Amino acid sequence: MSSEQRGVTVWFTGLSGAGKTTINDELTKRLRDRGVNLEVLDGDIVRTNLTKGLGFSKEDRDENVRRIGFVSNLLTRNGVIVLVAAISPYRAIREEVRDRIGDFVEVYVSTPVEVCEERDVKGLYAKARSGEIKQFTGISDPYEAPKNPEVNCETHKESLDESVNKVIGKLEEMGYLPTAVVA
């Protein structure tokens, strides 16, 4: 891709098991096929490397999102498309990060909690319901859905392809990606 690429942070938010990482992984493949300069910040990986030591209190969750936002801002302003997949349950901190970065596309993966529980391969929802895991988003801790996300992916109603195409379409529409030429 040319050096004229505009940086943007694409922030996937939603419950655990909603499909954030799945959409993000497929989007990453498609953007790399187009030669896009991008970086992926997955919430689980970031917690292991950048925000180790933070717990799951509201303050720690906000600090986790702030740190991801800080790195995203650095990359975005240097022409990188940043793909973030993080539960980021609180609306106010997502808005704070949006305001700081500016070039920001919020993707709400709006899958109902019942569907997320059915998909839960790690058994986290069962542990949360039994009280084994405290402060679990969507069960014992709140999730504040975005009011006006740029993209809403309903993974319980649409295919992976449809969700990814929605995100790509929005990035093209907003001028962050050139429109793909279909041969």
Annotated binding site for ATP: 14-21
* Residues tagged in the binding site annotation: 14-21
Q: State the catalytic residue, choosing from 88, 110, 130, 163.
A: 88
| Burial class of residue 133 (count of CB atoms within 10 Å of its CB; 0-12, 13-18, 19+) | middle
**Cβ neighbours, 10 Å, residue 20:** 28
Q: Are 96 and 66 in contact (CB under 8 A)?
A: yes
User: CA dist 121 to 5, 17, 61, 124, 127, Å?
Assistant: 37, 9, 23, 8, 12
User: CA dist 143 to 31, 59, 65, 86, 130, Å?
Assistant: 29, 14, 14, 12, 19
Structure tokens at 151: 């993209």
Q: How far apart are the C-alpha atoms of 175 and 173, rounded to whole Å?
A: 6
Q: How far apart are the C-alpha atoms of 111 and 130, rounded to whole Å?
A: 22
What secondary structure does DSSP assign to 29-55, as a single string? Answer: HHHHHTT--EEEEEHHHHHHHTSTT--
Residue 88 annotated to the active site: yes
Residues marked active site are found at 88
